[in-house]
Amino acid sequence: MRPLDRRFCIAPMMEWTDRHCRFFHRLLTRHALIYTEMVTTGAVLHGDRARLIGFDGAEHPVALQLGGSDPPALARCARIGADFGYDEINLNVGCPSDRVQEGRFGACLMAEPKLVGECVAAMTAAVEIPVTVKCRIGIDDQDPELALEAFTAAVESAGADALIVHARKAWLKGLSPRENRDIPPLDYDIVFRLKAAHPRLPIVLNGGIATVEAAQACCSRLDGAMMGRAAYQEPWRLLTVDPLLFGAAAPFASVRQAAQALMPYIERELTRGVRLHSITRHLHGLFHAVPGARAFRRHLATAAVKPAACAAVLAEALTLVMDSPAEMAHTAAA
């Protein structure tokens, strides 16, 4: 099995990185490792599996993120994910929401390294594909130096194939999940020290990576960087991922071409009953510093939400955007 290249990852984001979003991101970068939204073990075991974790073959390499803390349930879900064709199974140890805490999973598991080790061991025993963990540097009043080290030692000895560290604490009481993505300060240095102490464990940095160049800079000290909000809100950035991080040509010369390449997918999904807006909502930030970008967004926001909206709405929106030096800059980067 060839190890996955983790130099650039797109973060798991609930309500955002659904299968339509991932298909679209894949048009912008062939090499990024893409993550699903978190899916709980309960949902995988008892829910509509095809709807919850089904994906398009074009999305590879793609990782399934699971939420849970029961080793046998996680092992079963990892197996199901591997059988669906996922390239990696990831365990969420970073989500601070109340609902997740009540289920005793997500970030609160930072306090239970032994249990997380048992989860990882159960999952690695169940599948041949990589099993990874996404965590914080600590929670609440934990000392991150101690907590992150104990946590990492536990997951590494349990056989984890990589650790993704969102380089800030999670405050489980008093901060909303959204505030928990901004308020606890980022500490990249602790992640660099962690890598020095665990040279054989692939470690990926997450949190506040705002540009592809910043991700590139991480790769000299770590195994990769994971971009979340910037990738979703400013997807035009993704077109430079393959040239800058993987030494490969960009899949398209411009974001406009990538959007045009989405048309056959849209046609196909509409015939399956998907609403246009479910797909085009992920494109709102596609154009940046280009005359017409706002008109593009506005047209999608008003016309794509109509029940009978068809692919022509995207074609119309694209006519509102000018070709400009900003777009040419993407071409040059390719």
Ligand X SMILES: Cc1cc2nc3c(=O)[nH]c(=O)nc-3n(C[C@H](O)[C@H](O)[C@H](O)COP(=O)(O)O)c2cc1C
13 binds ligand X (CB under 6 A): yes
For the chain, the C-alpha Rg in angstroms (whole number) is 20
* Phi, psi (deg, nearest 5) at residue 67: -115, 125
Q: Which of 63, 95, 107, 258 is close enough to bind ligand X by CB under 6 A?
A: 95
280 binds ligand X (CB under 6 A): no
Segment near ligand X (CB under 6 A); pick from 5-13, 78-86, 287-295, 319-327: 5-13
Which residue's Cβ has the minimum distance to ligand X?
A: 228
User: Using CB atoms within 10 A of its CB, is residue 257 exposed (0-12), middle (13-18) or buried (19+)?
Assistant: middle
Closest CA to 108 of 185, 182, 16, 177: 177
User: Using CB atoms within 10 A of its CB, is residue 46 exposed (0-12), middle (13-18) or buried (19+)?
Assistant: exposed
100 binds ligand X (CB under 6 A): no
* Spatial separation of the C-alpha atoms in residues 59 and 34, rounded to whole Å: 8
150 to 179, contacts with ligand X by CB under 6 A?
Answer: 166
Segment near ligand X (CB under 6 A); pick from 91-99, 142-150, 151-159, 260-268: 91-99
* Spatial separation of the C-alpha atoms in residues 53 and 208, rounded to whole Å: 27
Residue 138: partners with Cβ closer than 8 Å, 6 or more residues away? 110, 144, 147, 148, 169, 170
Binding mask 284-323 for ligand X (x = CB under 6 A): ----------------------------------------
Strand 88-93 and strand 203-206: pairing?
Answer: unpaired
* Phi, psi (deg, nearest 5) at residue 289: 55, 35
- Site size toward ligand X (CB under 6 A) is 23
Binding mask 35-54 for ligand X (x = CB under 6 A): --xx----------------
Helix (H, G, I), strand (E, B) or coil at 182: coil
189 to 248, contacts with ligand X by CB under 6 A?
Answer: 206-209, 227-230
Minimum distance between the CB of residue 189 and ligand X, rounded to whole angstroms? 17
Q: Based on CB atoms, which residue is closest to ligand X, 41 or 206?
A: 206
Q: Based on CB atoms, which residue is closest to ligand X, 218 or 313?
A: 218
Q: Based on CB atoms, which residue is closest to ligand X, 193 or 229?
A: 229
Minimum distance between the CB of residue 167 and ligand X, rounded to whole angstroms? 9
96 binds ligand X (CB under 6 A): no
Show the DSSP H helices in the chain as ranges.
19-28, 41-46, 49-53, 71-84, 98-102, 113-126, 144-157, 188-197, 212-218, 229-233, 241-246, 255-261, 263-271, 276-280, 293-303, 312-319, 325-333
Segment near ligand X (CB under 6 A); pick from 90-98, 108-116, 258-266, 322-330: 90-98
| Residue that is written with structure tokens 């659904």 in the block | 18
Q: Based on CB atoms, which residue is closest to ligand X, 4 or 313?
A: 4
* Phi, psi (deg, nearest 5) at residue 88: -160, 150
State the DSSP code for 305.
Answer: T
134 binds ligand X (CB under 6 A): yes
Catalytic residues: 95
Binding mask 51-70 for ligand X (x = CB under 6 A): --------------x-----
14 binds ligand X (CB under 6 A): yes
Q: Which of 7, 8, 9, 12 is close enough to bind ligand X by CB under 6 A?
A: 12
Site of interaction with ligand X (CB under 6 A): 11-16, 37-38, 65, 92, 94-95, 134, 166, 181, 206-209, 227-230
